[in-house]
Amino acid sequence: MTIAEIKNDLHRMVVETNDKTLLEHLALLFAQLREEKDWKSVITEREKVLIEKGRQDLLAGRTVTRATIRKDVEEILHPK
């Protein structure tokens, strides 16, 4: 994908959303990334806690395969 295509896709996604919170987060993230700040300074404390929980689950072997998740989502979206 070219730089122009990436820019066009990002522009389209921004234009198509009316989610103010999402746009605020994207603006903050973009500003911080341009300043080359560490990603940990961009996320909330709650997000840090959830990431750590996920890391602990992974280390403990509490994982689910992608195939299982896709199957579950498919069943939710298209119940029989």
Alpha-carbon span 41 to 66, nearest angstrom: 29
pLDDT digits 0-9 by tens, 15-44? 999 999 999 889 888 887 787 666 777 788
**Which of the 8 DSSP states describes residue 36?**
T
Structure tokens at 15: 């234009």
Give the pLDDT confidence score for residue 37 in this predicted structure.
65
Structure tokens at 73: 């989502």
pLDDT digits 0-9 by tens, 48-77? 999 999 999 999 999 999 999 999 999 999
- Assign 14 a pLDDT band (cuts: 50, 70, 90): very high
Give the pLDDT confidence score for residue 35 in this predicted structure.
77
User: How would you write 7-48 as a 3-class SS string?
Assistant: HHHHHHHHHHCCCHHHHHHHHHHHHHHHCCCCHHHCCCHHHH
